[in-house]
Chains A and B, each alone.
Chain A
Amino acid sequence: MSRQVKFIAACGAGVNSSHQIKDAVEAEMRKRGYNVKVDAYMIKDVNEDLLSKYDGYLTIAKTDLSFTPKIPLIDAGPILYRIPAMAKPVYDNVEKVVKEIN
């Protein structure tokens, strides 16, 4: 099996939106045959050191960071709309990153 690709998702409390994204991305990638793990965090805890441990950052909207991330940023906000057609491009972008890594 290909190596596990790790993403980070972050929201206000690290409890709600980030977990919705985590569950949705992990389930969809499993369906597409990839080994993807997403960790959910509180957005205030996201820093350069933390991001360096991940292959991609699933953002909800524009995020103020004091540094330029070295990993790909994917806007995963549309997953929260709960409309499958709007979530699909997000999954496609995640898949692209996963394929590049494997």
Chain B
Amino acid sequence: MNGIINFANSLFKPLIDMGAATIMLIVLTLIAILFKVKFSKALEGGMKLAIAITAIGNIMNMLTTSFQKPMQQFVQHTGIHMDMQDMGWAPLATITWGSPYTLFYLLVLIVLNVVLLVLDKTNTLDVDIFDVWHLAFDGLFCVYVGAPLWLSTLLVLFIGTMKIINSDLMKPTFNDLLDAPEGNPMTTTHMNYMMNPIIMVFNKFFDKCLPWLDKFDFDSTKLNEKIGFWGSRFAIGVYLGVFVSLLAGNNFATEEGWKDMFTLSFVGGSCIELFSVIGSWFIASVEPLSQGIADFATKKFSGRTFNIGLDWPFLAGRSEIWAAANVLAPIMMLEAMILPGNRLMPLGGIIAMGVTPALLVVTRGKIIRMIIIGTIELPIFLWAGTMVGPFVTNMAHSVGAAIPAHTMVSDTTMEGPVEKYLAYLVGNAWKQHGMFIVYALLALAAYLLLFMWYAKEMKKRNAEYAAAAKK
């Protein structure tokens, strides 16, 4: 046995020592070849991923180094303990893809999708390979907290099954929101929509107790138009620089104070923009693999009509998503300041794309409900983001981001916050036993029961759509 371990170590140790970027170059290239992707395409993807991982580490370093001192002064000056920096989704996605375990979870989820299709439990073929990182993140976090790989895999399968079932449940609502015909195959397995059950509880409350609120709905397209560039990514980066400088107590009687504020603002704006640029590189890197997997699945299921599980943005054309996000941004800022236990200063995730799409689906575009329910659920995101901060920082270090000591990073509007709590409880149940086992079991049961209730409600809604189509 020792011989085998020594042999494996001698084989893999030099590879591991090369760092995350090199490992992923090799691993992603090999897996794409396995799915019959042409060598040059597979290698191109692998190289792009390695470059994306390297670049994101450097940009995170730039942002965190620039904001570290003003943030410390901010905390001292105000007494508000917001010492974690919000990177938004792009760096988190990239560093999650920097772990070879992400490919393991990807493989597991492909098998799950195939099994559910074969058993006729779903009609959805998930081609959104890139967003596998959401569930991989949960699995990796669960392991970080203390669970073994097999237990984290079970958790990933448990959530993954519901995610796929949810995509079938939401399909008629997508057609309604997009004004699309029955034959439209677009659906999504995105983690954003796993907030639907909780939102449905509040939506029911509005249906029963506050239906008159809907008459205050406003024209979201016009609001977005008025906000214009003031709500864009780079502008938000600039505001944060100004905001942190003000609360850090910059001396604006001196040229230095103004200079520091402008520098911080432009660093904030440029890093947020660069995160998206690198994000697109990283997506391009998994593109050959995504196509290879889609080719494989369609070949194996030839003749069958699928719903196609895409990334969430085919709904992004609905202006309510952006109107709600624009209104929720300053609300999140205020909540972050006063929320007990929150350590995250909103920055990269302040355009709340992880929050608003699910609100649109459940409320079917009732903008006032979206804003109120969004305001209520934002603390769930802020606390989840704070909870995973040490893990995210650890992962960032492991892919080579030179984040300064005592600086932590995370995301304010991370997709699937509830699942982060589940991963935390399951990990602790394994590691610490005792009451954590009870908490984890109760949480899993509550999560499942709430989803079952939500599924029943969605089936009722879908029956209404079907009846209306017959008329």
Contact = CB atoms under 8 A, between A and B. Distances in A.
A47 interface: yes
Contact of B317 (A19, A62, A66): A62
Interface stretch (B16-24, B55-63, B287-295): B287-295
Interface in A1-17: 10-17
B308 A47 contact: no
B148 interface: no
B279 interface: yes
B162 interface: no
A82 B233 CA distance: 30
A16 B311 contact: yes
A15 B180 contact: no
A64 B179 CA distance: 11
Given A17-B311, A66-B222, A82-B290, A23 B186 contact: no
Nearest to A44: B322
Contacts of A16: 130, 279-280, 283, 311, 313
A80 B308 CA distance: 9
Nearest to A63: B317
Nearest to A65: B221
A10 B308 CA distance: 19
A40 interface: yes
Given A16-B130, A42-B233, A60-B316, A80 B276 contact: no
Contacts of B89: 13
Contacts of A47: 225, 228
Interface string B88-100: 0110000000000
Interface in A52-88: 59-66, 77, 80-83
A17 B221 contact: no
A15 B221 contact: no
Given A60-B313, A82-B127, A12 B318 contact: no
A13 B314 CA distance: 11
A29 B90 CA distance: 29
Given A61-B178, A61-B317, A62-B317, A13 B276 contact: yes
A90 interface: no
B221 A23 contact: no
A86 to B, nearest CB: 8
B313 A66 contact: no
Interface string B240-257: 000000000000000000
B287 A23 contact: yes
B36 to A, nearest CB: 14
B224 A82 contact: no
A63 B311 CA distance: 16
B76 interface: no
A81 B317 contact: no
* Interface of B: prevailing SS: helix
Nearest to A47: B225
Chain B, interface size category, equals: 35 or more
A94 B90 CA distance: 30
B180 A61 contact: yes
Chain A, interface size category, equals: 20 to 34
B47 interface: no
B316 A80 contact: no
A12 B312 contact: yes
Contact of B283 (A15, A44, A62): A15
A11 B316 contact: yes
B284 interface: yes
Most chain-A CB neighbours within 10 Å: which of B220, B280, B315, B319?
Answer: B280
Given A15-B283, A82-B127, A43 B180 contact: no
Contact of A60 (B130, B290, B314): B314
Given A20-B287, A81-B127, A82-B127, A14 B231 contact: no
Contacts of A92: none
B392 interface: no
Contact of B225 (A20, A43, A61, A66): A66
A59 B314 CA distance: 9
A12 B313 contact: yes
A44 B312 contact: no
A15 B186 contact: no
B314 A17 contact: yes
B219 to A, nearest CB: 8
Contacts of B276: 13-15, 42
B396 to A, nearest CB: 19
Given A43-B317, A64-B221, 8 more contacts: A15-B276, A16-B280, A60-B313, A60-B317, A61-B315, A62-B317, A81-B310, A82-B294
For the complex of A and B, 3 pairs with smallest distance between CB atoms = A12-B313, A63-B317, A82-B294
14 contacts: A13-B353, A17-B311, A18-B313, A20-B287, A23-B287, A42-B276, A43-B322, A44-B232, A44-B316, A45-B229, A64-B318, A64-B319, A80-B311, A80-B314
